[in-house]
Amino acid sequence: MTSANDLFPGHDGAVPTQSRHGAPHATGILPAHAIKSLIRDQEIWSSNEIEDSQVQPASLDLRLGTVAYRLRASFLPGERSSVMSKVETLALHEIDLTQGAVLEVGCVYLVPLQETLALSERTAAATNPKSSTGRLDVFTRVITDFGTQFDQIVCGYKGHLYLEISPRTFPVLVRQGSKLSQIRFRRGQATHTDTELRHLHDTVKLLDGTPNIDNGLALTIDLKGNSDDGLIGYRARRHSAVIDMDVPNALDVLDFWDPVYMRGRDNLILDPDEFYILASCEAVHVPASHAAEMVPFNPLVGEFRVHYAGFFDPGFGSKAAGGAGSRAVLEVRSHEVPFILEHGQIIGRLIYERLTDTPASLYGQGIGSNYQKQGLKLSKHFRTPAF
């Protein structure tokens, strides 16, 4: 059987070179030790020291700076403008984050991040909300100076990063240093064709059973739940108390969520603009050689958005990292009209990308991984429910 490290060695036509971490590729997602090299080389830097705990197996957690700007509207700066020049015309007021501040539901905020980039011409990046951020329905997107897309940082970018934050359901308390978003670094393109993805599944088993592969690996929705209690998900309650983004295991589930149970039928009607936490039928596996990302919205499967926080680190669901049986938890919101989800319906697809090298530690191996071996699970802020 082919080892995970040797999958697709000729995918980009490059000749691998040896390193102490294995046989790296010229293109792909950068693992933790390569991110640390970027920090040492000051391609990533900050006036405050970057903490080891920020470095994940294939991503870096980003920290909020000292101030937030309440905006009239979201925006992209465009090719001719810096972010702060737009803020001067769009900001309603400035908020000090050094002692913490509450961000209100339905408002748009912009926060300069502590991390700054000076990337080489061969390195690009992409960002995404952290899992805990997405599970609280806090919508975040990173923008850059002269940027024309959200969450995309072009090769060779040199400048500051800014995080747009818009709580959709719960008011949240944040402060300087809070980590709401994460960034991945990429050299070239290493997403796989469907043929290569099938080969990867045949080699390391990305999920149990026969995979549905068509522009990514399909995941389906579980609306039968646990046979003991019939719990299939949670629906967010409005007008709740404030959630402190930096305090785990502190909140009672029922103060913020209504449990959703299967009641003799295998479907669920999504109410417009309500927020749900659901789970996939499939247990997902991301091998050490790869990272994955959930496609956040596919208009071909329905008028809803799934999975605000789409990064899956290498080792997620891996038996070797204690994650056998890990399912994808799905953050779901319907738009405009009620929409019926059926059990087993395709709700999203995972896109796999090869790493340039195997990380020293995988997701779940002593790095504060909150969602390894998860089933249906709320964010880390909530105590395990007694029901």
- Asked, for residue 233, whether it belongs to a domain, the answer is yes
- Asked, for residue 312, whether it belongs to a domain, the answer is yes
Whether the CB-CB separation of 331 and 371 falls below 8 Å is answered with no
Number of domains making up the chain: 2
Whether the CB-CB separation of 141 and 309 falls below 8 Å is answered with no
Cα end-to-end distance, the chain, whole Å? 45
210 and 147 co-located in one domain = no
How does pLDDT run across 180-203, given as a tens digit for each residue? 999 999 998 877 889 999 999 999
pLDDT of residue 309: 65
CATH at residue 251: 2.70.40.10
- Asked, for residue 23, whether it belongs to a domain, the answer is no
Q: Which of 359, 300, 310, 307 is nearest to 29 (CA)?
A: 359
139 and 242 co-located in one domain = no
Q: What is the pTM of this model?
A: 0.90
CB count, 10 Å around CB of 195? 9
Residue 298: which pLDDT band, with cuts at 50, 70 and 90? low
Contacts of 355 (CB under 8 A, 6+ apart): 25, 28, 29, 30, 31, 58, 288, 289, 290, 291, 314
How does pLDDT run across 333-385, given as a tens digit for each residue? 887 788 899 999 888 889 999 999 999 888 877 666 778 778 899 999 999 87
- Asked, for residue 386, whether it belongs to a domain, the answer is no
Cα 10 to Cα 14: distance, rounded to the nearest angstrom? 6
- Asked, for residue 17, whether it belongs to a domain, the answer is no
276 and 213 co-located in one domain = yes
Whether the CB-CB separation of 295 and 310 falls below 8 Å is answered with yes
- Asked, for residue 350, whether it belongs to a domain, the answer is yes
251 and 183 co-located in one domain = no
CA torsion 235-313-7-1 (nearest 10°) is -70
Residue type, 369: S
Q: Mean pLDDT, the chain, as a whole number? A: 88
In Å, how far are 71, 82, 90 from 87, measured between CA atoms? 8, 9, 5
160 and 211 co-located in one domain = no
33 and 180 co-located in one domain = yes
Does 101 score more than 50 pLDDT? yes
* Residue 39, domain extent: 28-187
In what helix (H) or strand (E) does residue 39 lie, and over which residues does it extend? helix 32-40
183 and 202 co-located in one domain = no
212 and 314 co-located in one domain = yes
Going by DSSP bridges, is the β-strand pair 172-174/243-244 parallel, antiparallel, or unpaired?
Answer: parallel
